[in-house]
């Protein structure tokens, strides 16, 4: 059996603002479906993707409560991908840029997401089979 | 020969740089590379057969393999029969497989 491959992704978009975030998470999901390991370096606004205090809300305009609205939270998407990786025996590493987190005061993140620096992106990329940097615009 | 996968999220009607992305794909093909482009998000609007864009059409005729993301098409109620000839429907596994195969992948 061949050794699973590893892909590294760098992402900078914040949650709740762009369709790019959804597309990115779909790509991560497809990567796990392919049986590959994943490294993510989240920088700039993307450090908020794993913020532990993200809160779902209802939609009073449409008369829906929190449960009916089913507002998606990126921290839950990350947790779901972590769970999926565990289920299939893949690794799922997520590092937030510490400087970017400090700038934004976002240091409380969900379990399994760490803090680092661009040196971690270099290490991720150096050890991966391929790397995709997703810039904003 | 290098294999390229370009993820095109921008449309040519609101983002003028999309034209440069189409030209880049066409040029890379003319230089003997294999180029695939996956249209995602607003990028799929150019795939509609009613959309007129010379740079996009030149890319289609120039040997670039163009795919449209099924999810983005569905969000916009664009059916497979609404697409320009030669565009294939795909999903994000196309990108994952390209990365795993060692293709050069570019996100626009």
- The answer to whether the CB atoms of A34 and B100 lie below 8 A apart is yes
Mean pLDDT confidence for B83-93: 97
Q: Which of B40, B99, B102 sits opposite A132 (nearest CB)?
A: B99
Chain B residues lying within 8 Å of A30, measured CB to CB: 91-93, 95-96
Q: Which of B7, B71, B96 sits opposite A31 (nearest CB)?
A: B96
pLDDT at B24: 96
Single out the residue of A39, A35, A28 nearest to residue A1, CA to CA: A35
Q: Which of B69, B100, B107 sits opposite A36 (nearest CB)?
A: B100
Would the ipTM clear 0.90, i.e. be above it? yes
Cα dihedral: A6, A11, A14, A20 (round 10): -90
Phi, psi of B88 (to 5 degrees): -105, 150
The structure tokens listed for A97 are: 């840029």
B14 Cβ contact partners less than 8 Å away, ≥ 6 residues apart: B42
| Structural domain that includes position B66 | 3-107
Owner of token pair 């061949």 = A2
pLDDT in tens, A68-86: 998 999 999 999 999 999 9
* Sheet strands (E) in A28-129: 37-42, 92-97, 113-116
Whether the per-residue pLDDT at B51 is higher than 80: the answer is yes
pLDDT at A136: 76
Which of B67, B100, B101 to mutate to probe the A interface, most A CBs <10 Å? B100
Closest chain B residue to A136, measured at CA: B108
Separation of CA B43 from chain center: 8
Chain B residues lying within 8 Å of A13, measured CB to CB: none
In this structure, are strands B88-90 and B34-39 parallel, antiparallel, or unpaired? Answer: unpaired
* Sheet strands (E) in chain B: 3-8, 34-39, 65-69, 88-90, 104-107
Is residue B4 within 8 Å of residue B28, measured between CB atoms? yes
Whether the per-residue pLDDT at A137 is higher than 80: the answer is no
The structure tokens listed for A132 are: 């995709």
pLDDT at B23: 96
Percent of chain B with pLDDT over 90: 99
Q: State whether residue A26 sits within 8 Å of chain B by CB.
A: yes
pLDDT at A9: 98
Q: Looking at domain A6-49+73-134, which CATH architecture does it have?
A: 3-Layer(aba) Sandwich (3.40)
Angle at B72 between CA A129 and CA A87, to 5 degrees: 45
Query: Residues 9 to 68 of B: which have CB under 8 A from any A CB?
Result: 9, 40-42
Percent of chain A with pLDDT over 70: 99
Mean pLDDT confidence for A105-117: 97
- The answer to whether the CB atoms of A30 and B91 lie below 8 A apart is yes
Mean pLDDT confidence for A33-50: 98
> Minimal Cα–Cα distance from B98 to chain A, Å?
10
- The answer to whether the CB atoms of B9 and A19 lie below 8 A apart is yes
The structure tokens listed for A36 are: 């590959």
Query: Residues 48 to 87 of A: which have CB under 8 A from any B CB?
Result: none
Closest chain B residue to A131, measured at CA: B99
Domain count, chain B: 1
Mean pLDDT estimate for chain A:
96
For residue B46, what pLDDT band results from cuts at 50, 70 and 90?
very high
Is residue A133 within 8 Å of residue A10, measured between CB atoms? yes
User: CATH number, domain at B71?
Assistant: 3.40.1260.10
pLDDT at A2: 77
């Amino acid at each position: 059996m061949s050794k699973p491959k590893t892909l590294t992704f760098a992402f900078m978009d914040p949650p709740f603002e762009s369709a790019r975030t959804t597309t990115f998470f779909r790509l991560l999901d497809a990567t796990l479906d392919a049986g590959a390991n994943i490294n993510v370096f989240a920088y700039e606004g993307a450090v908020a993707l794993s913020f532990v205090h993200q809160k779902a809300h209802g939609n009073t305009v449409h008369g829906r409560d929190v449960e009916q609205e089913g507002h998606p939270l990126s921290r839950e998407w990350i947790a779901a991908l972590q769970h999926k990786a565990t289920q299939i025996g893949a690794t799922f590493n997520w590092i937030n840029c510490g400087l970017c987190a400090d700038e934004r005061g976002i240091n409380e993140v969900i379990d399994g997401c760490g803090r680092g620096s661009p040196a971690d992106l270099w290490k991720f990329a150096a050890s991966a089979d391929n790397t995709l940097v997703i810039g904003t615009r | 020969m290098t294999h390229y996968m370009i993820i095109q999220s921008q449309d040519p009607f609101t983002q003028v740089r999309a034209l440069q992305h189409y030209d880049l794909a066409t040029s890379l093909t003319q230089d003997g590379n294999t180029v695939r482009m996956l249209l995602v998000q607003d990028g799929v609007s150019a795939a509609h057969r009613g959309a007129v864009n010379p740079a996009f059409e030149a890319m289609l005729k120039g040997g670039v393999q163009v795919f449209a993301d099924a999810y983005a098409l569905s969000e916009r109620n664009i059916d497979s029969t609404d697409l320009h000839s030669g565009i294939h429907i795909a999903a994000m596994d196309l990108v994952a497989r390209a990365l795993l195969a060692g293709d050069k992948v570019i996100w626009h």
